[in-house]
Amino acid sequence: MNIFVTGNIGYIGSFLTQYLKNNNKNFNIIGFDSGFFKKNLTKNIKPEKKIKKQYIEDIRNINSTHLKDVDTIVHLCGLSNDPIGKKFEKVTNDINYKASVKLFNYALKNKVRKFIFASSCSSYGFGGKTAKTENSKINPLTAYAKSKVKFEKYLSKNKNKGIEIIILRFATACGDSPRLRLDLVLNDFVYSAVKENKIIIKSNGKPLRPLIDVEDMCQIIHWSIKRKSKSFLLMNAGSNENNYSVKEIAEKVKEVLGNKVKIFLNDKLPDDKRSYKVNFNKLNDNFKGFKPRHLKQTILKLKKSVQIIVKSKHKKADLIRLNYLGVLIKNRKLSSQLIWKK
């Protein structure tokens, strides 16, 4: 089976390609990635070296020839957090929505069998304390979330075109990866706790965030690839037990890593309106064998990687997406539209 993975050199994609190859020898992985974060390896492995074919190209330039003989598309790539979306609002829409539409239409043209889209629970925006189901009202607050919702709606309108569509609204990603990110809430807290014995929460800590380990994301994507039904499926992807407030996440890190860690709240900053608790029962009903990692496991595995990073030449700023894109632009490697300069 030929599986086309966009964003395979990113935080999730770097782990996913390894996971798929380790769990199914019959999968031929074709990677497609802009290469923005290619050099941000935090482990001595390059997962993309073990796949069938690698394209380092801009998703905005996707065409039909890229998808020749592809059976399944796993669409991960995109500008992937709210600070980037705020600074590059138009580019976020161009990449996350317009290029995704282009990719999907080429998938139809090439008679691709299955299209799996990595969406986000951030589509719920300010959700209150009631756990959101797939039927709850969506309220995207940021350019990133809005781009995800727009493409979800586009896929929903095209669900009867002869291609199986699976939309996975993932919880907030966390955990270890060959290309670790430190602009994700749990990862940032673990890094600060390991390096400085303190965690600074840039809010009152009340906003709610469901978490999902990268490995669990890969487990769900693997299940989606193997799923037998051809019916349209949209579901939240995470676990009910991993719904936390930001303060609770910090307290969990402190509990696992030791009482020397101090937690600081910043009540002077305006409240983060992005807050949502999510119901993941539909995932459990569909994926009967899903076994999410305990948060303690995720934290301990992160601790080991962070200890290595702290002792290495890696700068924290390089593992924060917005900062690193800024470096590439400053060094005239990328344009302000995030296009590689020749």
What is the CA 236 to chain-centroid distance, rounded?
Answer: 13
Q: Please give the domain boundaries of the chain with CATH numbers for all domains.
A: 2-330 (3.40.50.720)
Which residues of the chain are under the pLDDT cut of 70? 270-271
Question: What is the predicted pLDDT for the residue at 128?
Answer: 76
Distance CA 292, CA 166 (A): 20
| Residue 184 tokens, joined | 């994700």
Question: What is the predicted pLDDT for the residue at 203?
Answer: 85
Averaged pLDDT of the chain:
95
Q: What is the pTM of this model?
A: 0.96
What is the CA 59 to chain-centroid distance, rounded?
Answer: 16
Distance CA 123, CA 126 (A): 9
Residues with Cβ < 8 Å from 142, sequence gap 6 or more? Answer: 82, 85, 86, 122, 274
Question: What is the predicted pLDDT for the residue at 153?
Answer: 98
Residues with Cβ < 8 Å from 297, sequence gap 6 or more? Answer: 213
Name the DSSP class of 237.
E
- Measured from the Cβ of residue 233, the count of other Cβ atoms closer than 10 Å reads 18
Return the HEC string of 199-215: EEECCCCCCEEEEEEHH
Question: What is the predicted pLDDT for the residue at 240?
Answer: 97
Question: What is the predicted pLDDT for the residue at 45?
Answer: 86
The 10s digit of each residue's pLDDT in 81-98 is 889 999 999 999 999 999
Query: What is the full DSSP assignment across 7-53?
Result: TTTSHHHHHHHHHHHHH-TT-EEEEEE--TTTT---SS--GGGGSSE
Going by C-alpha positions, the residue among 168, 71, 158 that lies closest to residue 113 is: 71
How many residues are present in the chain? Answer: 342
